[in-house]
Amino acid sequence: MTSLTQSINISGLYPDGITVILQHINLRERNQNSNLPLNRTLDRDMVKTVAKPSPKTNADPAKETLMRVLHVDDDDDFLIISKRLLELQCSFQVESVLSVKEALQKIRQKSYDVIVSDYQMPETNGLNFLKELRDRGNDIPFILFTGKGREEIAIDALNLGADRYFNKSGKPKTVYGELAHSLITAVKAKRAEKALQESEEKYHKQFEKALDAIVLADAETGIILDCNRAATELVGRKKSEMVGKHQRILHPPEPIEGEFSRTFKQHLKEKEGQVLETQVIKKTGEIRDVAIKANIIELGNKRLIQGAFRDITEQKKAEEKLDEMMNELVTINEKLGVIGKLTRHDARNKLSVIANNAYLAKQKLAADHTALEYLGDIESAVDQMEEIFDFARTYEMLGVEELSYMNVEKSVNEAAILFSGLASVKLTNECQGLTVMADSLLRQLFYNLIDDTLKHGEKVSQIRVYYEEGEDQLKLIYEDDGIGIPNYEKEKIFKEGYGKGTGYGLYLITKICETYGWTIRETGVPGKGAQFTMTIPKTNKKGIIPYRFDNE
């Protein structure tokens, strides 16, 4: 047989009906033997010419995932033409071997998606090849592709686990069209099966390793169908002691209402169950508190309920302990508050007696008497004690009130009214319309600042309160034109007990600012006056804007 130029119609395999030219296929010398069967030499029965393209189909083989095919046949020429016909579909990568022995070696070296095998071969037949694969646990899709007259082995092949059986004889368009379709179907089915298996394994692994106890039950009967390791540990039972039993076995008698537990009934009412708290009982009789989140799953006509149980026993105990501690703390605070008020009240009365007696003594003594200096010290000490009591009263109020928007201009003016010696000092209040998240102690804050100015500013003639808004913060500024504060004291003045008086005025201001979520620094120039800058962030920790302008 001489070289051929063959045109084969494979329009049934391609969307655009391609005319494939197989040029210069040199058939081997042994195929020139006229005694060989017609279907083994790919003779003129396979020669067709395409006159027109076939209609387009929805599938695009060029976009198919590459499928690796191992083709086993003892006819080299048949392998060559089959490889070309299949690979023209753009989704197959065909490797050809001439014997089962060679095929088994290939399979050990790499993986394939599907095997296409002849039946009759010199060393062994296709059925023995299939049986050996299945005996080894290899479930690769297997298609028997054999010659005419081999239908009698089809049943045996399918019984051994072959996916399909095809006869080589027939029109190429039909034979290879059906073969290609079966290859794609078998490979996709196997891939889907593998993906499902991997998904099930992944789910089962997650199911078993979940920290929460998970129980799957029949929604209609309440029978437990499955549970994970955490569930067995939660109730102290083996899996075999739970699966097949009613879900009532999980709960003590109290939460049971009729046929089901109370939470089981509640979860059945909603597909996306809410989190409910209840109790479970261990095999030993120990009761544990749990929170259960359940979901209804519908599989065909069957309704299942999957519950995730979380042991909250220790959490409940901690909450109860915390509640006890909080109640004790409230009681202690109430007692301390009562004692503090009574103590300050009685102490102030005694201080008033001391101050009045010191005043009377001074009136009885001559103007140059040496005792006057000592009496003055007594009066000064009494004044400081009054300030300390005021500090204690204010400190008790820190964080007690709920913060709300307070008018800054009004708070400054109310603080200034409390000073009788402010007539000689000009107060400029430029905070019109500004409100900040604060409480009634905002007035105390400005009172302490004004008091600090009058006591330590020495030559003060002006006080100014104003604000500056930046991109991410607002600065509330208090300043005077007194002697200012030395650089080495700028941080020390906010510490408890530091200063010429009680040392609590600026310390209390710091604590008030902390309660509001502000920061405060002394930013003045020594010799030119004190300046206190309070920085208010754009938003606080709760996401609330801590200042606004009511005139906008």
End residue of a domain, out of 376, 393, 410? 393
Q: Is residue 173 domain-resident?
A: yes
In a domain, 164, yes or no: yes
Domain span holding position 533: 401-549
pLDDT at 35: 35
Q: Which H or E run includes 510?
A: helix 505-516
**Is 442 within 8 Å of 408 (Cβ atoms)?**
yes
**Res. 384 pLDDT band, cuts 50 70 90:** low
**pTM over 0.85, yes/no:** no
What distance in Å separates the CA atoms of residue 240 and residue 384, rounded to the nearest whole number? Answer: 79
408 and 535 housed in the same domain: yes
CA-wise closest residue to 100 among 69, 76, 124, 131: 124
Structural domain includes residue 491: yes
Same domain, 275 and 306: yes
Q: Is residue 41 part of a domain?
A: yes
Write the pLDDT tens digit of every residue in 391-406: 566 666 666 788 999 9
Q: What are phi and psi of 105, to 5 degrees?
A: -65, -45
b/e burial code for range 380-414 (CB count within 10 A of at least 16 → b):
eebeebbbbbbbeebeeeeeeeebeebbbeebbbe
Of the candidate ranges 54-68, 262-276, 325-339, the one whose mean pLDDT is the lowest? 54-68
Cα separation, 105 vs 122, whole angstroms: 17
3-state secondary structure of 194: helix
Domain count along the chain: 4
The phi, psi pair for 170, rounded to 5°, reads 130, 180
d(CA 534, CA 39): 98
Could you tell me which residue, 96 or 385, shows the higher pLDDT?
96
β partners of residue 188: none
Rg (CA), the chain: 47
Query: Kind of pairing, strands 142-146 and 164-167?
Result: parallel
Beta pairing partners, 23: 5
For residues 267 and 345, the answer to whether their CB atoms sit within 8 Å is no
Nearest to 397 by CA among 428, 438, 427: 438
Q: Angle CA(274)–CA(279)–CA(281) in degrees, nearest 5?
A: 140
The CATH number for 264's domain is: 3.30.450.20
**In angstroms, rounded to a whole number, what is the distance separating the alpha carbons of residues 552 and 406?**
16
Q: Which two tokens stand for residue 332?
A: 């202690």
Phi, psi values for residue 517, rounded to 5°: 85, 20
Looking at 194, 225, 252, which one is the last position of a domain?
194
Structure tokens of 481?
Answer: 């034109």
Residue 58 has pLDDT above 60, yes or no: no
Domain boundary among 295, 311, 327: 311
116-157 tens-digit pLDDT: 999 888 888 889 999 999 989 898 999 988 876 566 778 888
